[in-house]
Amino acid sequence: MAWSAEERVRELGLVIPDYADPPYGERYATMKAFHHLGRQLTISGMTPEDRQGNRVFPGRVGETVTLEQGYAAARYAAVNVLGLIRYAVGSLDEVTGFIRTLTFVCVSPGFTDVNLVTNGAADLFIEVFGDRIGRSTSAGIGVTSLSGNNVFEMVTVVETRSPAPEEDA
Amino acid sequence: MAWSAEERVRELGLVIPDYADPPYGERYATMKAFHHLGRQLTISGMTPEDRQGNRVFPGRVGETVTLEQGYAAARYAAVNVLGLIRYAVGSLDEVTGFIRTLTFVCVSPGFTDVNLVTNGAADLFIEVFGDRIGRSTSAGIGVTSLSGNNVFEMVTVVETRSPAPEEDA
Amino acid sequence: MAWSAEERVRELGLVIPDYADPPYGERYATMKAFHHLGRQLTISGMTPEDRQGNRVFPGRVGETVTLEQGYAAARYAAVNVLGLIRYAVGSLDEVTGFIRTLTFVCVSPGFTDVNLVTNGAADLFIEVFGDRIGRSTSAGIGVTSLSGNNVFEMVTVVETRSPAPEEDA
């Protein structure tokens, strides 16, 4: 039987935000949610915020945020990425692979377990998509600050089963 | 009537550097300006420098550079990106969408309005390309330092109307 | 006569790790080595580590690591990238261009010669692939910390002669 990411979401009881209602972008007038070209779907930078802009564990890992909180924030942002994938292509089952994740963690200079924070996102994707589809190439970077004092931000590019619909240019 | 980015550039009175004269890359022997594969045009990292290497507002936002100066530096770098797009494909009107921008701002640890700096680039693209084409997926990251003490650097990937010409391999 | 990257590797006497034996990823359970879609091959973030996890010049450029050591670390990571390209597509001679490199260097706030460190990777690619194929669009970013106290990490995307094989979805 084929793996279904949508079924896994139900099994895991994940609550995924709906970026259609209200539409994504009202609070971010200069950004768009995604770009789909061919089978490459690029998702905008996502942070651990709910749709009202409330942040999960803002601050800096190694100072005001613990490793465990950072991991939870990364997982929260990754659930938001799932919401944007649905918004872009309708269903998580359209995803046939992860092309790339690039993850940024706000850290103190002495904190070097960046990968243990970003695993919060990587583990979530494997739980939902399975090992074959959910693993990604990735890099995790410890940085000085992120917008709105967020502790985590990630850029995600996935491969979709169907190419983007042709537009009238 | 169709939107023309080249016409908008004239209306806005933007002065865009010509990267053909002298050719891009003389000062950066190890880099190239762009890579075009299919309809995906990747632009090399651009900073707020003129073609002689003079930097606009070098330093660190939150310390030696104000928010307004950082915004202006981001806009300056984005104008340079327009120059590289022309250099790559001849005309800004070849751009049919922004796939991704990834922006880096040199900041002090206490500065968390990274997005208000990077808006300098995002606003410029929307002024030139309009809301439908000029909006991009994006992430803005506050970092420790950038080459040459630049305050801003951005990576840009756009979609082009025509695919890259086939090469003799 | 056509340039051969594999022949250049022999001439230069480079020792490139074999990521097939033992298979890549045993130490990084949440990552995969590469993603190949069409002619775009994305390589996972690579650091200056050998296959046992021993790090080359860990620390921070401007404090505990010199510029020369940082350059050597960047070169070491780039040699690892060559290993992953072979692992992905069998031969370096499959590479027809560098689409993008994005490089991160762990630095002290006062260190702004980020590009002189990242040249360690850029120079290596040009030595191996020649100027026409080996040059890349690129950005080099000075950051707070990298996983495992590494001094350098890079993300690489190359163009391949042949598109990825079709999968049974």
Q: Cα–Cα distance between C100 and B130 in angstroms, integer?
A: 27
Please tell me the predicted confidence (pLDDT) of residue B26. 63
For chain B, give me the number of helices (H) and strands (E)? Answer: 3, 6
In this prediction, the answer to ipTM > 0.85 reads yes
Q: What is the pLDDT of residue A46?
A: 97
* Span B36-41, average pLDDT: 98
Tokens encoding B8: 């908008």
* Beta-sheet strand order (sheet of C95-106): B145-146, C138-143, C95-106, C152-160, C40-46, C34-37
Closest partner residue to B147 (CB to CB) among C99, C114, C136 is C114
Contact status, residue C134 vs residue C125, Cβ threshold 8 Å:
yes
**Residue C25's pLDDT is what?**
73
Supply the pTM of this predicted model: 0.96
Tell me, yes or no, if B31 comes closer than 8 A to chain C by beta carbon: yes
Q: Which residues of B fall within a CB distance of 8 Å from A145?
A: 107, 109-112, 114, 142
Residue A121 makes CB contacts below 8 A (sequence gap 6+) with: A74, A75, A77, A78, A81, A101, A103, A152, A154
Q: Inform me whether the C-beta atom of residue A156 falls under 8 Å from chain C C-beta atoms.
A: no
Residue C168, pLDDT > 60, answer no
Query: Which helix (DSSP H) or strand (DSSP E) does residue A105 occupy?
Result: strand A95-106
Evaluate the omega torsion of the peptide bond into residue A22 and state whether it is cis, within 30 degrees of 0: yes
Does the beta carbon of B39 lie under 8 angstroms from any beta carbon of chain A? yes
The CATH number of the domain covering residues in A40-160: 3.30.1330.40
Q: What is the topology classification, in CATH, of domain B5-160? A: 60s Ribosomal Protein L30; Chain: A; (3.30.1330)
* Chain B closest-CA separation from residue C115 CA (Å): 6
- Is the CA virtual torsion C103, A139, C70, C83 positive or negative? negative
- At C54, list the tokens: 């021993």
Given pLDDT bands bounded at 50, 70 and 90, which one contains residue A27?
low
- Give the pLDDT confidence of B55-86 residue by residue, as tens digits: 999 999 999 999 999 999 999 999 999 999 99
* Residue B87 token pair: 């250099």
The predicted structure's pLDDT at residue B33: 95
Tell me if C112 and B148 make a contact (CB, 8 A cut-off). yes
**Region B42-50 average pLDDT:** 97
What residues of C are in contact with residue B142 (Cβ under 8 Å)?
none
pLDDT at C169: 44
Residues in C touching B44 (Cβ below 8 Å): 137-139
Nearest CA to C78 out of C23, C158, C20 is that of C158
* Ramachandran area for residue C62 (φ above 0: left; ψ -120 to 50: alpha; else beta): left
Q: How many CB atoms lie within 10 A of CB C91?
A: 12
Residues in B touching A32 (Cβ below 8 Å):
98, 135-137
Domains of chain C by residue range: 5-160
Which one has a higher pLDDT value, B91 or B3? B91
Strand partners, B157: B42, B100
Tens of pLDDT, residues B119-148 = 999 999 999 999 999 999 999 999 999 999
